[in-house]
Structure 1
């Protein structure tokens, strides 16, 4: 969960999100160094005689400010491409969940089970109990086993939606008539919140996402109870 006045990311709950946070810090440090260097050059150029025509027309300086940005771009691009390809890696998932966006709620279908399907609606403010979060609580949460690769198939029934859970590093568009897929791996138990990240209509802000990661035994007990109710 995000905290009041928080400036950084939520705590990572998956290895992929940890990689994204590390890359963010890496790129931010490069931006900080570039900004510091440019500010220093501007101050020195304004306050000294560096504005001499000979210095400004220096071939050496032109070579440096052409090659240096290229090196910086490589230092940013390589880890960026690595993470980009990691987000597409789906190796032997232990569980597949189909997520369907509607106006304005989510449906979940556990494709490894025949009858394990349910809709997930936001809990109205007047029905919240102490400790629950406004606009983030759902009547049915998506339960997954922790430390297991989970594949998510994302689509929509009506308009564009986007299934996004920041702590898991997952954001996938739900497009009508198209089946997109992504995957995540939770490293610790907990409840992780997300929201539709595509402006999908009047109640766009009222279709939250709750993902609960539990030990495998707890997941088996939950799935058995859900199947009995079905």
Structure 2
């Protein structure tokens, strides 16, 4: 398996790898009106930490989707151990295997930037019910970067692009979301330290190269802390 950032997250089984982790997720969800009648899609569910919280806390019907088989297997094991009735689906954000208007809410936590957004964002819109909500936590370009810096960021993280807040909003609006609200989440270096994560589901015999990836992530988080930020987007039709 190729030594990449996403494969690193999968092998370490980092739950809440997005900036702010589960605590930020809880804060965002607490502002929404969620009950046990709702159907929620967790796109890029990873090891299933957020899906498990949604199911346990709100009793809603949760579907957890990921395109990384190791991540999805770890999510399934989490749900089994917690005895949670969560549907797990192997698939990708650019071609969601669901009918139009299937969900009341779509949640994307540091996922959309890794996709072809001209395909994934319209798919989020397509599978939402009328008046449905898209919640997205995404990496943003807060200050100018050089071509060399951009190339380094894209190479290491494997993202397809590094968008500014106005560029993100334009893509959401182009897909048909008429009400787009963004909120900045101030990144702290500590919050980006995966060694401090409280939720791990580690694979056996992890190659040393993946520890090196964690160290490089920490280094890039530090040197780009004034250029790479995080935005919380709430999008409705």
TM > 0.5 fold call:
no
- Indicate the structure with greater helix content: 2
TM-score normalised according to structure 2 size: 0.25
TM-score normalised according to structure 1 size: 0.25
More contact order relative to length (CA 8 Å, sep ≥ 6): 2
